[in-house]
Amino acid sequence: MNDKPVLVILGPTASGKTELAFRIARQIGGEIVSADSRQIYRGMDIGTAKPPREMLEEIRHHFIDEKEIGEPFSAGDFAEQAAERIRELRQRGITPIVAGGSTLYIEGLLKGFAELPPADPEIRARLTRELERHGAEALYRRLEALDPEQARTLDPTKSQRLVRSLEIIELSGQTVTALQRKTTGPSTGIDFTVIGIDLPRELLYDRINRRTAAMMQAGLEAEARRLYDQFRDQWRSKTLNALATVGYRELFEHFEGLHDLQTAEVLIAQHTRNYAKRQLTFFRNRLDMEWVAAPLDEAGVDALVEVICRRIG
């Protein structure tokens, strides 16, 4: 069995990791292990920037279109199942390439998870009451003061991880950041070579703006409308985490009459830029990786593919 380190390609959204992984896999006859927490769901296509159908047909992509919306699938599930897929591929002589940007998926696969205290119903209930009374922003400011690194990786509007982070501090007397740094790595027996795609912030943000416009032109509004019509009750009750996702959330709010379509598009781009910033903060603070300059043209892509293929070949 091939015991060379498994290549992991990371980067913020819109950085070009999907195309790079595809080109490498095509050249070496590999398969891609997708580390994207939303692309695993069927029906969420345009808004999650899934690879085009022709790419999926040419190269096997694991963990894309494998679950129905609402079907539970956690970062722990991914870490366990992705390691198993990697071992199976290598036993068959196929080179796996991990590519994606979902921070907890990646961290779980590479490092494992810290031993975190179990939930405490009393503390959870009290924090939830504070959330309802004072809003997510107040709890977020508290977390910023106690665990600034963890706060920078969270969306202040996503209350579940915010409450859990504060709960852990109360229960353990330690921050999530400190606990996660104590992990010694999962016992998968797999070594990884981790490469991050780096590009200037202004270029990244321009790519995000242009990709948002392209998604709208490709029919994102219609895709979101179909999902809204199917799942509006669960979305309103906040019981379907998959759809609390940039690209869908803003359009659902538009369908609810909170803002017009043009504002929704502006917000999608803005929130995607915010998400990319949080991804970069997480990668730089929590993972050991080699950053490579993003290729800016076709020749640059070809050159980077050749360099990486020689390293893993």
Task: Compute the CA torsion angle 70, 73, 242, 266 (nearest 10 deg).
Answer: -160
Flag whether 218 is marked binding. Answer: no
Q: What is the torsional sign of CA 133, 138, 140, 146?
A: negative
12 is in an annotated binding site: yes
Task: Consult the annotation and say whether 158 binds a ligand.
Answer: no
The verdict on whether residue 16 carries a ligand-binding annotation is yes
Residue 263, annotated as binding a ligand:
no
Is 17 annotated to bind a ligand? Reply is: yes
Q: Does 238 count as an annotated binding residue?
A: no
Annotation-wise, does 153 bind a ligand?
no
List residues forming the annotated binding site: 11-18
List residues forming the annotated binding site for substrate: 13-18
List residues forming the annotated binding site for ATP: 11-18
